[in-house]
Structure 1
Amino acid sequence: MKMTVDFEECLKDSPRFRAALEEVEGDVAELELKLDKILFDQTQRSIKAQLQNFVKEDLRKFKDAKKQFEKVSEEKENALVKNAQVQRNKQHEVEEATNILTATRKCFRHIALDYVLQINVLQSKRRSEILKSMLSFMYAHLAFFHQGYDLFSELGPYMKDLGAQLDRLVVDAAKEKREMEQKHSTIQQKDFSSDDSKLEYNVDAANGIVMEGYLFKRASNAFKTWNRRWFSIQNNQLVYQKKFKDNPTVVVEDLRLCTVKHCEDIERRFCFEVVSPTKSCMLQADSEKLRQAWIKAVQTSIATAYREKGDESEKLDKKSSPSTGSLDSGNESKDKLLKGESALQRVQCIPGNASCCDCGLADPRWASINLGITLCIECSGIHRSLGVHFSKVRSLTLDTWEPELLKLMCELGNDVMNRVYEANVEKMGIKKPQPGQRQEKEAYIRAKYVERKFVDKYSISSSPPEQEKQIVSKSCEEKRLSISKLGPSEQVRASPQSSVKSNDSGIQQSSDDGRESLPSTVSANSLYEPETERQDSSVFLDSQHLNPGLQLYRASYEKNLPKMAEALAHGADVNWANSEENKATPLIQAVLGGSLVTCEFLLQNGANVNQRDVQGRGPLHHATVLGHTGQVCLFLKRGANQHATDEEGKDPLSIAVEAANADIVTLLRLARMNEEMRESEGLYGQPGDETYQDIFRDFSQMASNNPEKLNRFQQDSQKF
Structure 2
Amino acid sequence: MTVKLDFEECLKDSPRFRAAIEVVEGDISDLETRLDKLVKQCHSMLEAGKVYCQNSRNFITGLMELGQHCSGDSVIAECLNKFSSKLSSILDAQAEVIETTQKSVKMKLQNFVKEDVKKFKDVKKEFERSSESLEAALAKNAQVPRGKQHEVEEAGQTLLNARKAFRSEALDYVLQINVIESKKKTDILMAMLSLMDAQAQFFQQGHQSLSELENYRRNLSEQHTHLVLNSAREKRDMEQRHAAIKTKDMSYDDSIMDFSPDAASGIAMEGYLYKRASNAFKTWSRRWFSIQKNQLVYQKKFKDQPTVVVEDLRLCTVKPCFDHERRFCFEVVSPSKSCLLQGDSERQQQGWISAVQNSIASAFQDHREDTHSPRGLERTRSVSAGSGMVSGEQPNAGHEALEEVQKITGNNQCCDCGELGPDWASINLGITLCIVCSGIHRSLGVHFSKVRSLTLDSWEPELIRLMCELGNTAINRIYEARIDEMTIKKPNPSSPRQEKESWIRSKYVEKKFIQKLPETGRSVPLRRSSARRDRANTQDRPVVRPTVKPKPNRATLPRLTGVNQSDLSQKNNTGIRKDDEEEDLSGLHPGALLYRSAALQNFPVMADALAHGADVNWVNAAEDSSTPLIQAVSANSLAASEFLLQNGANVNQADSNGRGPLHHATILGHTGLVCLFLKRGADYNARDKDQKDPITIAVENANADIVTLLRIAKMNKEMREMDGAFGQSGDETYHDIFRDFSQMASNNPEKLKRRSADIK
Instruction: Say if 1:177 and 1:393 are closer, same or farther in 2 by CA, change over 3 A.
Output: same
1:646 aligns with 2:688: yes
Does 1:419 find its partner at 2:477? yes
Following superposition, the deviation at residue 365 of structure 1 comes to 1.2
The aligned counterpart of 1:702 is 744
Alignment of 1:72-471 (within 5 A): 174-183=236-245, 185-186=246-247, 190=250, 197-199=253-255, 201-204=257-260, 206=263, 208-213=267-272, 215=274, 218=277, 229-259=287-317, 274-280=332-338, 290=344, 296-309=350-363, 311=365, 334-436=392-494, 437-457=496-516, 462=521
Checking the alignment, whether the CA contact within 8 Å between 2:532 and 2:599 is kept in structure 1 is no
Q: 1:289 to 1:676 in 2, by over 3 A?
A: closer
| Contact residue 633 and residue 667 of structure 1 kept, 8 A | yes
Q: Deviations over 1:626-654 (max 9, x none)?
A: 11111011000001111111122221111
**Closer, same or farther: CA 573–541 of 1 in aligned 2, 3 Å:** closer
Could you tell me whether the CA contact under 8 Å between 1:380 and 1:393 is conserved in 2? Answer: yes
- Cα distance per residue 1:88-133 (max 9 Å; x no partner): xxxxxxxxxxxxxxxxxxxxxxxxxxxxxxxxxxxxxxxxxxxxx9
Which of 583, 589, 598 matches 2:631? 589
Amino acid at match of 1:695: I
Matched, 1:520 2:534: yes
- 1:679 — aligned with what? 721
8 A Cα contact 2:70 2:76, kept in partner: no
1:601 to partner: Cα distance: 0.7
Cα contact 1:260–1:298 (8 A) shared by 2: no
Report SS of the residue matched to 1:250.
Answer: strand
Change (3 A) 1:359 1:215: same
Contact 1:271 1:282 (8 Å CA) reproduced: yes
* Residues 28, 683 of structure 1: alpha-carbon distance in 2 compared, 3 angstrom cutoff: closer
1:233 match: secondary structure: strand
Secondary structure, aligned partner of 1:401: coil
Say if 2:671 is the partner of 1:613: no
The answer to whether structure 1 residue 580 and structure 2 residue 622 are counterparts is yes
C-alpha deviation, 1:255, in angstroms = 2.5
1:568 is aligned to 610
1:425–1:296 Cα change, 3 Å: farther
Aligned equivalents of 1:575, 1:461: Cα separation in 2: 26
The answer as to whether partners of 1:231 and 1:239 remain within 8 angstroms in 2 is yes
Contact 1:272 1:291 in 2 (8 A): no
- CA gap 1:271/1:29 in 2 versus in 1, 3 angstroms: farther
Match of 2:590 among 548, 559, 564: 548
* Cα displacement string for residues 552-597 of structure 1 (whole angstroms, at most 9, x for unaligned residues): 1111001111111111112211111112222211100000111111
Q: CA deviation at 1:348?
A: 1.6
Relative distance call for 1:138 and 1:545 in structure 2 (3 A) is closer
Question: Is the contact between residue 238 and residue 251 of structure 1 (CA under 8 Å) also seen in structure 2?
Answer: yes
C-alpha change, 1:289 and 1:203, in structure 2 (3 Å) is: closer
Deviation of 1:33 (Å) = 8.5
Instruction: Report if the CA contact (8 A) 1:211-1:297 is conserved.
Output: no
Distance change in 2, residues 1:37/1:359 (3 Å): closer
2:610 counterpart letter in structure 1: L
Identity of aligned residues (%): 52
Could you say what secondary structure the match of 2:415 adopts?
coil
1:584-629 C-alpha deviation (Å, 9 max, x unpaired): 1110000011111110111111111111111111111111111111
Unaligned runs of 5+ in 1: 1-22, 41-132, 141-161, 322-330, 479-507, 509-516
Q: Aligned equivalents of 2:72 and 2:740: distance in 1?
A: 72
Task: Sort the Cα spacing of 1:385 and 1:237 in 2 relative to 1 into closer, same or farther, 3 A.
Answer: same
Q: Aligned letter for 2:737?
A: I
- Bigger mean CA deviation after superposition, 391-400 or 354-363: 354-363
SS in 1 for 2:344: helix
| Pairwise CA distance, 1:336 | 3.2
Give the Å deviation of 1:701. Answer: 0.9
Deviations 1:340-375 (A, max 9, x none): 222222222222222211111111111111111111
Deviates more, 1:311-320 or 1:368-377: 311-320
Q: Note if contact 1:460-1:546 (Cα within 8 Å) is conserved in structure 2.
A: no
Q: 1:559–1:593: 8 Å Cα contact kept in structure 2?
A: yes
CA gap 1:171/1:542 in 2 versus in 1, 3 angstroms: closer
Query: Relative to structure 1, is the Cα distance of residues 257 and 701 closer, same or farther in structure 2, using a 3 angstrom cutoff?
Result: same
Q: Secondary structure at 1:567's aligned position in 2?
A: helix
TM-score by structure 1 length?
0.61
CA distance in structure 2 between the aligned counterparts of 1:559 and 1:176, rounded to whole angstroms: 84
Larger radius of gyration: 2
Residue of 702, 705, 708 corresponding to 1:663: 705
Q: Do the aligned partners of residues 646 and 167 (structure 1) sit closer, same or farther apart at CA in structure 2, a change above 3 Å counting?
A: closer
TM superposition shift of 1:35:
13
8 Å Cα contact 1:217/1:229 also seen in 2? no
Q: 1:442 deviation in Å?
A: 0.5
Letter of the 1:202 counterpart: D
Distance 1:546 1:577, change over 3 A: same
SS class of match (2:447): coil
TM value normalised by structure 2:
0.58
Distance 1:706 1:378 in 2: 37
Contact kept? 1:553, 1:585, Cα under 8 Å: yes
Task: Identify the residue that residue 492 of structure 1 maps to in structure 2.
Answer: none
Residue 541 to residue 34, structure 1, CA distance change in 2 (3 Å)? closer
Match of 1:146 in 2: none
Structure 2: which amino acid aligns with 1:632? V
SS at match of 1:338: coil
Determine helix, strand or coil for the equivalent of 1:381.
Answer: helix
**Which digits, 9 at most, give the CA deviation of each residue in 1:20-48, with x for residues without a partner?**
xxx9xx7799999899989x9xxxxxxxx
Q: Is the 2:558–2:589 contact (alpha carbons within 8 Å) kept by the matching residues of 1? A: no
Aligned 8 A contact 1:200 1:293 in 2: no
| Cα distance per residue 1:308-355 (max 9 Å; x no partner) | 24555666888999xxxxxxxxx9762231222222222222222222
Alignment correspondent of 1:92: none
CA distance in 1, matches of 2:427, 2:545: 40
Aligned AA (1:671): A
CA shift at 1:538, angstroms?
Answer: 7.0
Distance 1:668 1:294, change over 3 A: farther
Q: Deviations over 1:511-542 (max 9, x none)?
A: xxxxxx45436x7x994767999567478998
* Aligned pairs, number: 513
Amino acid in structure 1 at the alignment position of 2:534: S
Compute the displacement of 1:250 (Å): 2.8
Amino acid in structure 1 at the alignment position of 2:687: T
CA distance in 2, matches of 1:676, 1:271: 57
Take 2:621 and 2:522, find their aligned partners in 1: how far apart are those partners? 21
Whether the 8 Å contact between 1:674 and 1:688 is mirrored in structure 2 is yes
Q: In structure 1, how many angstroms separate the alpha carbons of the residues matched to 2:281 and 2:540?
A: 61
**What's the counterpart of residue 753 of structure 2?**
711
What is the identity, as a one-letter code, of the residue corresponding to 1:370? Answer: N
